């Protein structure tokens, strides 16, 4: 077994669906019961639970649109910068990651928020950089939905300007999208906040290799992950840099396989296929009629939708604690550095992970015991 340490944490309950749009839901596109509360109070409890247990990651997405489907899944969203400030004050050790859509924020404002969060957290805050997602989000902000290539050019400039704000005092920048005169952001962070990115295109991977510290992979099995790790490491090495690999995984872990299957059946029976379709089309920027070009040969539209119900297209950890721990160990062996999990019942399942899965990972040598 490897001596590497697999960092663990969660993809936090900061976006989803809450009344009056429908019953609570987050990363499961189903109308079956999900015990989740998209509130700061719930996030604070979960974060403190993780921090006390020695887990390392509290990752927060950001949303700005009307959501997906008739019940507007993901329309209910907390601001990841505001939540980060509270979580930083409420915890002592773990890394806290906010998300920014570069088209909707100016880097000067993000730099100021980030330097403040770096101070509040004692250097534990990081930022996930996102170029933009769905056309509807851009329309809500009144911003043109530009081509993929142009969005990445804008994101590249955004990131260059942001990093200058965090490292220089009185700089100028003359770009296509940003023109800065005498840029400054005091106090500067004591060290550069780590940057995350999940772009899966060549442009996205090259951006990560040049500017970011973490790559959010969508690889769903060890062999696919191993190939992606090799690719990203090579791209980063060409830039004289190192990049670590993180993923998010939907985890449904129970004492028996029968319990897991019963819950899977329950969730799938109440699935929201309309929301799944709209979400996938928004993510890919294409219609599901071109599914093969989006997700690879051999997948039907129905298979893509079905695979997105649990975890919104993420990898899945389904099984007993022993089975889930074994799956995580295999991903670590393939090169994974960190995993952020999503759940059906967030507070209950976070506690179950801490009590039942983490000790097994420590016994297997996948994680070192918490100090």
Angle at 26 between CA 21 and CA 27, to 5 degrees: 135
Cα–Cα distance measured from residue 325 to residue 331, given in angstroms and rounded to the nearest whole number: 10
> Comparing C-alpha atoms, which of 47, 162, 130, 151 is closest to residue 95?
47
In a domain, 356, yes or no: yes
* DSSP E strands, the chain: 7-11, 15-16, 57-59, 76-77, 95-101, 125-130, 171-174, 179-183, 195-197, 214-217, 244-253, 315-319, 338-342
CATH number of the domain within which 154 lies? 3.20.20.30
In a domain, 36, yes or no: yes
Q: What is the mean pLDDT of each run of 10 residues along the chain (371 residues)?
A: 81 87 82 93 98 98 79 86 98 98 96 98 98 83 89 96 98 98 96 94 93 92 93 97 96 98 95 85 52 48 77 90 98 97 97 98 95 77
Count, residues in the chain = 371
In a domain, 98, yes or no: yes
Return the bridge partners of 73, or none: 68
Cα–Cα distance measured from residue 316 to residue 314, given in angstroms and rounded to the nearest whole number: 6
Cα–Cα distance measured from residue 228 to residue 198, given in angstroms and rounded to the nearest whole number: 12
Strands 15-16 and 76-77: antiparallel
Looking at residue 114, its pLDDT comes to: 98
H or E segment and range at residue 40:
helix 40-52
In a domain, 163, yes or no: yes
H or E segment and range at residue 324:
helix 321-333
Looking at residue 308, its pLDDT comes to: 83
Determine the distance from the C-alpha atom of residue 11 to the mean position of all C-alpha atoms in its chain, rounded to a whole number.
Answer: 6
**DSSP of 186-213:** SSPPSSPPPEEE---SHHHHHHHHHH-S
In a domain, 82, yes or no: yes
Query: What is this structure's pTM?
Result: 0.92
Nearest-Å Rg of the Cα atoms of the chain is: 20
Quote the domain boundaries for residue 63.
7-256+315-362
* Residue 343 neighbours by CB under 8 Å, 6+ apart: 10, 27, 36, 250, 251, 252, 349, 350, 353
Do the Cβ atoms of 125 and 113 come closer than 8 Å? no
In a domain, 290, yes or no: no
Looking at residue 283, its pLDDT comes to: 61
In a domain, 306, yes or no: no
In a domain, 243, yes or no: yes
When divided into structural domains, the chain yields a total of 1
Using the CB atoms, write b or e for 73-107: b if 16+ within 10 Å.
bbbbbbbbbebbbbbbeebeebbbbbbbbbbeeeb
């Amino acid at each position: 077994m490897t001596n590497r340490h697999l960092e663990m944490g969660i993809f936090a309950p900061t976006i989803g669906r809450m009344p009056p749009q429908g019953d609570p839901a987050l990363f499961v596109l189903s109308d079956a019961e999900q015990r989740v509360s998209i509130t700061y109070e719930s996030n604070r409890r979960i974060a403190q639970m993780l921090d006390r247990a020695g887990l390392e990651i509290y990752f927060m997405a950001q949303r700005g649109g009307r959501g997906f489907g008739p019940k507007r899944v993901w329309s209910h969203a907390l601001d990841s910068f505001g939540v980060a400030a509270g979580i930083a004050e409420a915890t002592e050790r773990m890394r806290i990651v906010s998300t920014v859509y570069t088209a909707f924020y100016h880097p000067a404002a993000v730099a100021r928020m980030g330097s403040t969060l770096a101070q509040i957290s004692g250097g534990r805050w990081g930022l996930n950089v996102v170029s933009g997602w769905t056309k509807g989000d851009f329309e809500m902000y009144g911003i043109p939905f530009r081509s993929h290539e142009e969005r990445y050019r804008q994101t590249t400039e955004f990131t260059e300007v942001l990093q200058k704000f965090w490292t220089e005092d009185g700089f100028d920048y003359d770009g296509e999208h940003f023109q800065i005169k005498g840029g400054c952001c005091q106090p500067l962070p004591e060290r550069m906040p780590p940057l995350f990115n999940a772009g899966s295109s060549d442009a996205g991977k090259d951006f990560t290799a040049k500017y970011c510290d973490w790559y959010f992979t969508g690889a769903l099995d060890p062999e696919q992950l191993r190939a992606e790790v090799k690719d990203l490491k090579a791209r980063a090495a060409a830039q004289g840099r190192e990049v670590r690999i993180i993923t998010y995984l939907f985890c449904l872990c129970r004492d028996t396989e029968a319990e897991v299957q019963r819950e899977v059946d329950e969730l799938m029976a109440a699935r929201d296929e309309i929301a799944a379709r709209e979400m996938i089309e928004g993510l890919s920027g294409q219609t599901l009629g071109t599914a093969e070009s989006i997700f690879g040969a051999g997948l039907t539209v129905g298979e893509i939708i079905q695979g997105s119900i649990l975890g919104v297209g993420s990898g899945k950890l389904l099984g007993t604690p022993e089975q889930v721990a074994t799956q995580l160990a295999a991903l670590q062996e393939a090169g994974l550095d960190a995993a952020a999990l999503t759940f059906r019942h967030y507070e209950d399942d976070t506690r179950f992970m801490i009590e039942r899965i983490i000790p097994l990972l420590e016994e297997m040598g996948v994680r070192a015991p918490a100090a």
